[in-house]
Amino acid sequence: MTLVEKRTNQGEKNQTNQPDWSALIPVLPGDGPRSRELYAALRRLIETGALAAGAKLPTTRDLARRFGLSRSAAVACFEMLISEGFAVARVGAGTFVALDVPFLPTTLAKPRPPEIDIAAALPCGLGVAVSDPRTLDLFRILLSRHLARPGPEHFRYGDPRGGLALREAIAAYLRTARGVRCDAGQIVLTSGTQQGLDLLVRAALRPGDAVWLENPCYTMAHAALAGGGASIAAVPVDAEGLDPLVGERLCPHARAAYVTPSHQYPSGVTMTMRRRLALLDWARRNDAWIIEDDYDSEFRYAGPPLTSLQGMDGANRVAYLGTFSKVLFPGLRIGYAVVPEPLLDAVMAVRARADRYPSTLAEGALTDLLTEGHFAAHLRRVRRRVQAARDALIAGLRANCGDALDATVPEQGLHLVATLKSGGVDTEIVEAAKAVGVGARSLSGMYIAGPPKHGLVLGFSGFSDEELWAATVRLGRVMR
């Protein structure tokens, strides 16, 4: 009898993985569930094409042995891959990469934007609130009170305008402190002034509508208007604020005007009464909107502020924006918009599409802060501290930068503008100041038309007298 050598057709059999396939996963992370870590590693190899479609996966026994896992962990890994469609099991043959799986490139087509720098604010930087220990302790107590017995508003979707109790408290505060004529139904809670402005732009304007914008201006307002497709007319600001007569010459058919009349950003001037009346008259005659950003109105050091534009408006053309970010702390993320009745439905529709309704977590504590008199006491304390910080910065600038900068003492707000005495480029000074730990901003960068003025915008809120003095010493050295 002749023995016939048995041959197998190797080409018809499924190819097994290369012996060194495990080099693709040299080390599994030590933390977390091991089956989940192995699953993530194998899925990554499949999505990037390192394990080709149709390739046979090792057995669960082999996986367990190679990586020091329990077999149950390897089995759980395979079950996840199969259930999500990344692998298929064939009875008697093994487990294979699915033929139809998503392919992800190993590198992104475009680089990701850089992470936002959230390092500690540099002295003289803007947007820093005063940390008041008494208010923080009180707010913690009030917050704990409400969390101890959470109400039903935390467990259901609410009004797009926000909680009624807080809106009523804000309306009462604005009527007393700013002369705003409103009720709770007109108030829409926001995560800050910027969101309020965005809601108004999307509700009141169409792409191509012309809008007056102060020049120089708050750059984030410019971004919101430009992002909404508005055609922006830069209206100059002088010692009396924005001039409506110039605005009408530049752009007579504007649909809206964005202004900061109480404390113009960045110049710091207050719009005079005659300019306010002229602006309101323009809005009435042209059926236009005025967006009043009541910037820093709480921080006035020389007498009471002028009443709000909204409080003087008899034609229902002014939308009013405010925030608790500067007076309490930005991390609270609660602002508000007082919306004219003709715009209210449109604003609420935009709000409901964007995020349904605002967070309710801190509403109760903030409501108590307003209604129980704590907010007024807080304002008195921080206003005194900020005024002292302003005086410390002025003293430091005069002593250490007097030959290079001319700083005017502001009667309101949390920053000042220092102009360059002997010319120069403010952006270069700002970069040099940042290198030595001073958070100045350039005035010229806030102009959107025409030849800009050069100067430094310097904040004093939230910094100690010692920090501000040291900053002016370093700034003086930079400018020599």
Q: Which amino acid is at 16?
A: T
Count of beta carbons in the 10 Å neighbourhood of residue 268: 20
224 and 183 fall within a common domain: yes
Backbone angles phi, psi at 342, to 5 degrees: -65, -20
Count of beta carbons in the 10 Å neighbourhood of residue 307: 15
**Least confidently predicted of 95-109, 146-160, 457-471:** 95-109
Buried-state track 191-203, b at ≥16 Cβ within 10 A, e below 16 = bbbbbbbbbbbbb
Backbone angles phi, psi at 321, to 5 degrees: -120, 140
Give strand pairing partners of 337.
188, 321
Q: Which amino acid is at 394?
A: I
Mean per-residue pLDDT over the chain, rounded: 89
Pairwise CA distance, residues 388 & 422, whole Å: 29
- Residue 199 CB partners (closer than 8 Å, separation 6+): 188, 190, 337, 347, 350, 351, 354
- Residue tagged 């009624």 (tokens): 164
Q: Domain ends where: 81, 97, 113?
A: 97
Give residue-wise pLDDT tens across range 370-414: 999 999 999 999 999 999 999 999 999 999 999 999 998 999 999
**Are 275 and 244 in contact, with CB atoms under 8 Å apart?**
yes
* Residue 302: per-residue pLDDT: 84
**Are 286 and 320 in contact, with CB atoms under 8 Å apart?**
no
344 and 388 fall within a common domain: no
We report the CATH number of the domain holding residue 435 as 3.90.1150.10
405 and 467 fall within a common domain: yes
Mean pLDDT along residues 36-52:
86
Q: Domain ends where: 97, 125, 142?
A: 97
- Residue 224 CB partners (closer than 8 Å, separation 6+): 194, 197, 198, 201
* Residue 31: per-residue pLDDT: 58
* Residue 5: per-residue pLDDT: 41
Report if residue 372 sits inside a domain. Answer: no
Give residue-wise pLDDT tens across range 243-286: 999 999 999 999 999 999 999 999 999 999 999 999 999 999 99
Residue 178 in tokens: 């700013």
287 and 418 fall within a common domain: no
**83 — pLDDT class (breaks 50, 70, 90):** very high
Pairwise CA distance, residues 265 & 221, whole Å: 10
* 18 vs 287: which has the higher pLDDT: 287
Report if residue 104 sits inside a domain. Answer: no
Pairwise CA distance, residues 248 & 424, whole Å: 34
**17 — pLDDT class (breaks 50, 70, 90):** very low
**Are 416 and 410 in contact, with CB atoms under 8 Å apart?**
yes
- Residue tagged 């208007």 (tokens): 225
**Whole-prediction pTM:** 0.81
Percent of the chain's residues with pLDDT above 90: 72
Centroid of chain to Cα 34 = 38
Backbone angles phi, psi at 456, to 5 degrees: -115, 135
- Residue tagged 């395979």 (tokens): 78
pLDDT value at 19 more than 70: no
Helix (H, G, I), strand (E, B) or coil at 94: strand
Give residue-wise pLDDT tens across range 418-434: 999 988 899 999 999 99
Pairwise CA distance, residues 157 & 164, whole Å: 13
* Residue 16: per-residue pLDDT: 46
**291 — pLDDT class (breaks 50, 70, 90):** very high
316 and 383 fall within a common domain: no
80 and 170 fall within a common domain: no
**120 — pLDDT class (breaks 50, 70, 90):** low
Give strand pairing partners of 197.
none
Pairwise CA distance, residues 447 & 463, whole Å: 27
Give residue-wise pLDDT tens across range 124-157: 999 999 999 999 999 999 999 999 999 898 999 9
335 and 444 fall within a common domain: no
Report if residue 275 sits inside a domain. Answer: yes
Report if residue 240 sits inside a domain. Answer: yes
Comparing CA positions, the residue from 308, 303, 342 lying closest to residue 322 is 308
We report the CATH number of the domain holding residue 81 as 1.10.10.10
Report if residue 92 sits inside a domain. Answer: yes
Q: Domain ends where: 97, 118, 151?
A: 97
409 and 351 fall within a common domain: no
- Residue 115 CB partners (closer than 8 Å, separation 6+): none
**Least confidently predicted of 115-119, 317-321, 364-368, 472-476:** 115-119
Pairwise CA distance, residues 148 & 155, whole Å: 14
Pairwise CA distance, residues 85 & 102, whole Å: 10
pLDDT value at 240 more than 90: yes
pLDDT value at 107 more than 70: no
Comparing CA positions, the residue from 258, 250, 254, 257 lying closest to residue 210 is 254
Centroid of chain to Cα 149 = 31
* Residue 116: per-residue pLDDT: 59
- Interior angle at CA 166, CA 165 and CA 167, nearest 5: 95
Report if residue 121 sits inside a domain. Answer: no
324 and 258 fall within a common domain: yes
* Residue 4: per-residue pLDDT: 40
352 and 411 fall within a common domain: no
We report the CATH number of the domain holding residue 320 as 3.40.640.10
Q: Parallel, antiparallel, or unpaired: how do β-strands 210-215 and 231-238 relate?
A: parallel
Q: Which amino acid is at 465?
A: D
Helix axes 465-478, 374-400, angle to 10 degrees: 30
| Boundaries of domain holding 298 | 159-359
Report if residue 93 sits inside a domain. Answer: yes
**Least confidently predicted of 37-51, 206-220, 223-237:** 37-51
**Are 160 and 348 in contact, with CB atoms under 8 Å apart?**
yes
Q: Total domain count for the chain?
A: 3
**Are 323 and 193 in contact, with CB atoms under 8 Å apart?**
yes
Helix (H, G, I), strand (E, B) or coil at 108: coil
- Interior angle at CA 96, CA 91 and CA 99, nearest 5: 115
The DSSP output letter for 327 is T
* Residue 18: per-residue pLDDT: 44
Residue 54 in tokens: 């149709």
Report if residue 454 sits inside a domain. Answer: yes
280 and 178 fall within a common domain: yes
Helix (H, G, I), strand (E, B) or coil at 56: strand
166 and 71 fall within a common domain: no
* Residue 424: per-residue pLDDT: 85
Helix (H, G, I), strand (E, B) or coil at 363: helix
Centroid of chain to Cα 236 = 27
